A and B are shown apart, each in its own frame.
Chain A
Amino acid sequence: MSLLAPALLLGLLGLSLPLVAHLLGREPPKKIPFGAIRFLDAGDPVVTQRRRLHDRLLLLVRLALLATLVLLLARPVSFAPRALTVLSEPHDAVILVDASMSMDLVVDGTSDLQRASDVVETILDALPAGSRIGLITSDPRGPHLAPSADKNEIARELAQWIQQGPPRRGGWVLGEAVQAAASLLGPARGRSQVIYAVGDRTTRGLASLPASAASDIAIVPLPTRQPTGTPSSLAVAEHVGIVKLEWEPAPEVDPRAVHIRATLRRFGADADADVLSVRLKLQVEHDATPAEVDLEPGGTAKAEFTHTLLDGGAATKARVEIVGRDDALPGDDVRHLWISNQDQLAVTIVNGDPSQLRAHDEVFFLATALRAAAAPDRLKLSSLAPEQLERSLREGGLKALVDTDLLILANARAPQADVAPIIVDRVRDGMGLWVTVGDRVEATPYNQRLGDVLPLLLRGPVFAGTAPGRTQARTEGFAPTQLSHPIFAGRSGELGLRQTQTRRLFLLEPDAKRATRAALLFTNGAPALLTARVGEGRVGLLATSIDRDWTDLPLRPGFVPLMQRTIAFLGGLSDATSGSAIHVGETKEFRSKTALYIQDPAAVETRSGPDTDGWVRFENTQIPGHYQVRRERAGIGRAHRNEVFAVQTNPLESDLAQVEIPVAQLSEDQVDAVVPVPQGRWLLWLIAGLLGAEVVLRWRASMAR
Chain B
Amino acid sequence: MAEDGALGSLLPVDLRERLRMSDLSAPRGTFGERSGQHRSQRPGLGHEFRDHRPYVPGDDLRRLDWRAAARQDKLILRQTEAEAELTATVVLDASGGMGYGEGEKQKWRHATAVAAAVALVASQRHDRLRFLIGREQEVDLRGVRRCGVHELHLRLAERCAVGTSGRCPWSKLLSHTAETARKRGVVVVISDLLDLADATDDDSDLALERALDQLAMLRSQRQRIVLVQVLHPDELNFPWLETKVFRFEDLTRSQVAVEGVGAQLGDSYLKKIRSYLARVEAGAEARQLRLVRIVTDAPLRDGVLRVFGNTPPAARANTATP
List A residues at the B interface (Cβ < 8 Å). Answer: 27, 29-44, 46, 48
Contact = CB atoms under 8 A, between A and B. Distances in A.
A136 B256 CA distance: 83
Contacts of B256: 42
A37 B273 contact: no
5 contacts: A30-B246, A34-B100, A39-B269, A40-B248, A44-B260
A46 B249 contact: no
B145 to A, nearest CB: 30
B72 interface: no
Going nearest first, the 8 A-B pairs with the smallest beta carbon separation are: A35-B97, A35-B100, A29-B245, A29-B247, A39-B272, A34-B248, A40-B258, A37-B250
A46 B259 contact: yes
B235 A36 contact: yes
Contacts of B252: 35
Main secondary structure of the interface of B (DSSP, over half): mixed
Interface string B268-286: 1100110010000000000
B98 A48 contact: no
Contacts of B261: 46
Given A29-B245, A33-B248, A43-B268, 10 more contacts: A29-B259, A30-B245, A31-B247, A32-B246, A35-B97, A35-B99, A35-B195, A41-B268, A42-B258, A46-B245
A705 to B, nearest CB: 8
Given A39-B194, A41-B265, A32 B99 contact: no
Interface in B140-185: none
B255 A37 contact: yes
B100 A33 contact: yes
A30 B235 CA distance: 18
B245 A40 contact: no
Contacts of B100: 33-35
B135 interface: no
B204 interface: yes
Contacts of B249: 31-34, 37
Contacts of A41: 258, 265, 268-269, 272
A46 B258 CA distance: 11
A27 B269 CA distance: 24
A32 to B, nearest CB: 5
Given A29-B246, A32-B240, A38 B260 contact: no
A42 B265 CA distance: 8
A48 B245 contact: yes
Interface in B106-155: 107
Given A31-B249, A35-B232, A40 B99 contact: no
A44 to B, nearest CB: 8
A37 B259 contact: no
A502 to B, nearest CB: 107
Contacts of B258: 37, 40-42
A41 B248 CA distance: 11
A31 B260 CA distance: 11
Contacts of B250: 33-34, 37
B264 interface: yes
B67 interface: no
A457 to B, nearest CB: 115
A32 B251 CA distance: 9
Contacts of A34: 100, 234, 248-251
Contacts of B269: 36, 39-41
Given A29-B247, A41-B268, A35 B260 contact: no
B96 interface: yes
A39 B197 CA distance: 13
Kindly name the residue among B98, B197, B249 whose own CB sees the greatest number of chain A CB atoms within 10 A: B249
A35 B96 contact: yes
Nearest to B268: A41
A39 to B, nearest CB: 4
Nearest to B234: A34
A42 B259 contact: yes
Contacts of B204: 38-39
A44 B259 CA distance: 9
B244 interface: yes
Nearest to A43: B260
B192 interface: yes
Interface string B25-49: 0000000000000000000000000
Contact of B265 (A30, A31, A38, A40): A40
B255 A38 contact: yes
A38 B195 contact: yes
Nearest to B275: A39
Contacts of A36: 97, 192, 194-195, 235, 269, 273
Contacts of A31: 246-247, 249
Nearest to A27: B245
Contact of B251 (A33, A43, A46): A33
A533 to B, nearest CB: 101
Nearest to A31: B247
Contact of B98 (A29, A35, A46): A35
A42 B204 CA distance: 16
Contact of B273 (A29, A32, A39, A42): A39
Kindly name the residue among B248, B259, B265 whose own CB sees the greatest number of chain A CB atoms within 10 A: B248
Kindly name the residue among A27, A36, A42 whose own CB sees the greatest number of chain B CB atoms within 10 A: A36
A35 B273 contact: no
B214 to A, nearest CB: 19
A34 to B, nearest CB: 4
Interface in B182-210: 192, 194-195, 197, 204
A40 B256 CA distance: 11
A577 B232 CA distance: 96
Kindly name the residue among A38, A42, A43 whose own CB sees the greatest number of chain B CB atoms within 10 A: A38
A50 to B, nearest CB: 12
Contacts of B251: 33-35, 37
A428 to B, nearest CB: 107
Nearest to B101: A35
B107 A35 contact: yes
A41 B255 CA distance: 12
B194 to A, nearest CB: 5
A37 B265 contact: no
A32 B248 contact: yes
Nearest to B261: A46
A42 B260 contact: yes
Nearest to A34: B248
Nearest to A42: B258
Nearest to B245: A29
A27 B276 CA distance: 34
Given A42-B260, A43-B260, A46-B261, A37 B248 contact: yes
B248 to A, nearest CB: 4
Contacts of B245: 27, 29-30, 46, 48
A30 B247 contact: yes
Nearest to A35: B97
Interface string B45-82: 00000000000000000000000000000000000000
B247 A43 contact: no
Contacts of B265: 40-41, 43
A457 B150 CA distance: 128
Contacts of A40: 248, 258, 260, 265, 268-269
A27 B245 CA distance: 9
Contacts of A42: 256, 258-260
Contacts of A38: 194-195, 197, 204, 255
Kindly name the residue among B97, B258, B273 whose own CB sees the greatest number of chain A CB atoms within 10 A: B258
Contacts of A29: 244-247, 259
Interface string B290-302: 0000000000000
A683 B269 CA distance: 55
A29 B252 CA distance: 20
A31 B247 CA distance: 5
Contacts of A44: 260
A33 to B, nearest CB: 5
Nearest to A44: B260
Nearest to B202: A38
Contacts of A27: 245
